[in-house]
A and B are shown apart, each in its own frame.
Chain A
Amino acid sequence: MPHDHHHDEHDHTEPPSDLELRVKALESLLVEKGLVNPDTLNTIIDTYEHKVGPRNGAHVVAKAWTDPEFKQALMTDATEAVASLGYCGRQGEHLMVVENTDDTHNLVVCTLCSCYPWTVLGLPPAWYKSAPYRSRAVSAPREVLSEFGINLDEDKKIRVWDSTSEMRYLVLPQRPLGTEGWSEADLQALVSRNSMIGVELARAPDSGAEASQ
């Protein structure tokens, strides 16, 4: 791109994109007015980038697979059970865990925007927020699942859960066969983010956690 319109181009800094300027404008005004604290902003960013993530959800799932008492608590009141592991929501939303069984597969979507169980899964992947997923998860769930590589038996029911600002869902995948006697820590490696949204199954033990990354 030519820069011939600035004769003094060495003496200035190229302004960032319009979007960046809009964020800077808002942020500086909100901080100035005392409505937000810059330290709070940094803490939030750090938390969501580094601390919150699908590992939290994998911990919940692996614990449910190995600890019947925890699983019962989780199915009764997921918000509380998950909080007992230290994962607390920031928006006061409720969490419900939906369990995959031999008869039923669960799939989570937010048709209106992109409500998502952040505390246990971190931030949603781009496809979760896309219009095609948001509509097709409801209109053609079997097709969506097969695009993700899951081909379910015709007689297996699919339940689609539409998240809201008050209620978020986490899928409890079926524990893979051949993992009897595995430790909670080893089981966690089999639980992918996508399996907790319901677009994948938990990894088979022989596939290895690395192979499916």
Chain B
Amino acid sequence: MQRFEHQPQDDEGPVFNAPWEAQAFALVLALHERGLFSWQEWAGALSAEIAEAQAAGDPDLGNTYYQHWLAALETISRQKNFSNTDELARRKSQWHEAYLNTPHGKPIQLSAGDS
């Protein structure tokens, strides 16, 4: 079994390694259920992302899967005009600031990142 380093050998173990993976997963399903893209379009975006990552040297052992999933979600969100690169970057840094401006232990509100 040495070829499958990241393989959980037991059945039915946790399938998400972190909450963000579950969030990214659910976003795609929710957008698809609203009819905002077809599942074929999604599978195309995801396999393109995986192929690109492999070409860039990712050994792609399954542990980076949700990173590809997230990158594909960002790509399809731009293609479908749900958002764009600038808006995503701005929002991301706004969240980053919100964390820095929030005392430890307090809930993080996006508004705390407004500068």
Residues of A within 8 A of B (CB): 10-17, 19-30, 33, 35-37, 40-42, 44-45, 48-49, 53-55, 90-93, 112-115, 122-133, 136, 147-148, 164-166, 192-194, 213
Residues of B within 8 A of A (CB): 1, 3-4, 6-8, 10-13, 15-16, 18, 20, 22-27, 29-34, 36, 39-40, 42-43, 46-47, 50, 54, 59-63, 65, 67, 70, 73-74, 77, 82-83, 87-88, 91-92, 94-96, 99-106, 108, 110
Number of CB contacts from chain A to chain B under 8 A: 187
A21 to B70 CA separation, bound complex (whole angstroms): 11
A22 to B66 CA separation, bound complex (whole angstroms): 12
Are B31 and A36 within 8 A (Cβ)? yes
Q: Give the residues in chain B near A35, CB-CB below 8 Å.
A: 31, 34, 36, 82
Are A45 and B22 within 8 A (Cβ)? yes
Are A26 and B27 within 8 A (Cβ)? yes
Are B43 and A130 within 8 A (Cβ)? no
Given contacts A20-B18, A48-B15, A123-B15, 8 further A-B pairs with CB under 8 A are A20-B20, A23-B20, A23-B23, A24-B92, A33-B83, A36-B30, A45-B22, A113-B43
Are B63 and A193 within 8 A (Cβ)? no
Are A26 and B15 within 8 A (Cβ)? no
